[in-house]
Amino acid sequence: WLRFNTNTMAARIGRRRCAGAALLFTAFTATAFINVSPNWNPQREDEAFQQGLWKAVALFNAACWGSSYVSSQAGIDALNTAGVEDAAVVFGACRFLLAALPMLPWILKSSCPESARGSALVGSLSAIAYAAVFASLSHGTTGAKAAFIMALQTIIVAFCSSLAAKRFQLGSMASAFLAICGVAFLELGEVDGASTAAAGDLLCMAAPLLMGLSWHLLGEHMRTFPQDATPAVAIQLACFALVFVGWSLFEQLMAHGVGGLGTWLQQVPTWLEVPNLLPALIFSAFLGNTVTFLLCNCAMRKLKAEEVSLLSASEPLWAALCASLMLHQS
C-alpha cells in the first residue's frame, strides 16, 4: 500500500505541483489515445457516446482504486494501532473476503468451463500481482516507487496488444509512455533517494508484468464471453480472497504452528471491532473491488484493454488527491 510523504508543508506543496503535472500528462494521454488509436472509428454517433461513457466509467474506477490506497492505509494503521500482527496481510484478507462475499451466488454461473478457467487465470494473475506489491513494501520498496513500477503495466498491455494485432501500435505505446511520465512526475518527484534500488524492487517488478498480462487476457476474455461479466468477477474475487487468506494463514502457521490457525479464525470477529477499521474496510472492499470490478468487466466489452489499462494508470494521481483532501480536512 502506498505510503505518502506528508511530513512537511514543502512536501505538500511539491505533491500538489506534481499532481498538477501528472493531471496534464494524464489528460493529454487520454486525448492522444482517443485520437491516435487505430481501431477507434465508430460509424454512428451513439457508438461514440457509448465509448465516451465507458471511458468515463473506467476513469471512475481508477479514481476509486487510487482512493482505496488511502483507505487501505488507514485500515492498516488502525490494525497496527490495535496491535494486530501482520496488519497489512490481515487487512488484505479481510478486504477481499468481504468483497467476494456478495458475489458468491454467481461463482458457478459461468456459461462454460472454459469461461470459468479464463476468469480464474485472470483473477490469479491479478491477485499474485497485488501480493507482490505487498511483499515488496515489506522489503524496502517505498509506496511511491511501487506505484511507479505498477504503472509500467500500461507498457505491458500495449506490447501484448501489438503482438496480438501483429503490428506495432504507435498510438498505444506513445500514450502508455506519456502515462508513465505522468506517474513519474507524481510519485518520484518528492521521494528522496528514489533512484536507490531496494531489495523489494525486483520483487515488485513482477507486479506490472502479471497485471499487464491479466489486463490483456481480461479484454480477450470479455470479448469471447461477454455474457459472463458477473460470474467472472465472482471468480476473480474468490482468487484474491484465496491468495490473501492463504498468505495470512501461512504466516500464522510459520510463526505459531498449527495452533496459530485456530487463533487466526477466532480473532476475525475482534478485528472487525477495531476502531476506525470498518469505514476503510467497507470502502476498500466494495468501491475498491466489488463495484469497480463489475464495472470494469462491463467496460471491457466495449473498450480495448489498453484503453482501460491506460486510464487505470492515473490511480496514483487520485491517491495523491485523496490524501491531500484528507490532510486538508485534518
Q: Nine-digit cell at 320?
A: 495523491
Task: Tell which wins on pLDDT, 77 or 28.
Answer: 77
Q: How far is CA 213 from the centre of its chain?
A: 14
Residue-wise over 80-111: b if at least 16 C-beta within 10 A, else e?
Answer: eeeebbbbbbbbbbbbbbbbbeebeebbeebe
Q: Name the pLDDT band for 32 (thresholds 50, 70, 90).
A: very low
| Cα separation, 296 vs 304, whole angstroms | 11
| Cα separation, 9 vs 18, whole angstroms | 14
Eight-class DSSP state of 289: I
The pLDDT tens digits of the residues spanning 255-283 come to 888 887 888 888 888 888 888 899 999 99
| Cα separation, 72 vs 85, whole angstroms | 16
| Cα separation, 9 vs 142, whole angstroms | 20
Sign of CA dihedral 205, 245, 313, 187: negative
The pLDDT tens digits of the residues spanning 219-243 come to 899 999 999 999 999 999 999 999 9
| pTM over the 0.85 mark | no
| Cα separation, 55 vs 38, whole angstroms | 17
Using alpha carbons only, give the angle 65, 226, 158 rounded to the nearest 5 degrees.
55
| Cα separation, 302 vs 173, whole angstroms | 20
The pLDDT tens digits of the residues spanning 135-173 come to 887 676 766 677 677 777 888 787 777 776 666 655 555
Question: For the chain, percent helix, then strand, then coil, each to nearest 5?
Answer: 80, 0, 20
User: Is pLDDT of 113 > 90?
Assistant: yes
Name the amino acid, one letter, at 268: V
